[in-house]
Amino acid sequence: MSTFKSIKVIIVDNGSRDHEAAQLSKKFPQVTLIAKQENLGFARGANIGIESALSCEDCEYILVLNNDSIVPRKALAVLHETISSLPDTLLSPVILFAGTDRVQSAGGKINRLLGYCRNNEKNSRYRPGRADTTADFLSGCAIIGHKSIWACLGGFDEDYFAYYEDVDLSLRAKLNNYKLRVTHHTFVYHKHSSSLATEPATKTYLLTRNAIIFAKKQLTYKWVFIFNSLPYHLLLGLVRQKSLQALRPWYRGVRDGLSYTTRRSRCLPE
Q: What's the mean pLDDT in 187-213?
A: 86
Helix (H, G, I), strand (E, B) or coil at 62: strand
Query: In this predicted model, what pLDDT tens digit does every residue of 120-137 receive, in sequence order?
Result: 999 999 999 899 999 999
Rounded to the nearest 5°, which phi and psi values hold at 239?
-70, -40
Burial of 211 (0-12, 13-18, 19+ CB in 10 A): buried
The type of residue at 263 is R
Q: Which residue has the higher pLDDT, 47 or 14?
A: 47
Q: What is the pLDDT of residues 57-78, one digit of tens each?
A: 899 999 999 989 999 999 999 9
Query: Predicted confidence band at 106 (pLDDT cuts at 50, 70, 90)?
Result: very high
What the chain holds in terms of domains, given with CATH numbers, is: 60-192 (3.90.550.10), 200-259 (no CATH)
**Tell me, what DSSP letter sits at residue 263?**
P
pLDDT of residue 197: 58
| Mean pLDDT calculated for residue range 173-190 | 97
pTM: 0.92
The end-to-end CA distance of the chain, in Å, is 44
Question: Band of the pLDDT at 20, cuts 50, 70, 90?
Answer: confident
Does the pLDDT value for residue 19 go beyond 50? yes
Residue 248 has pLDDT above 50, yes or no: yes
Q: What is the mean pLDDT of the chain?
A: 91
Label residue 270 by pLDDT band (50, 70, 90): very low
> Is residue 194 very low, low, confident or very high in pLDDT (cuts 50, 70, 90)?
low
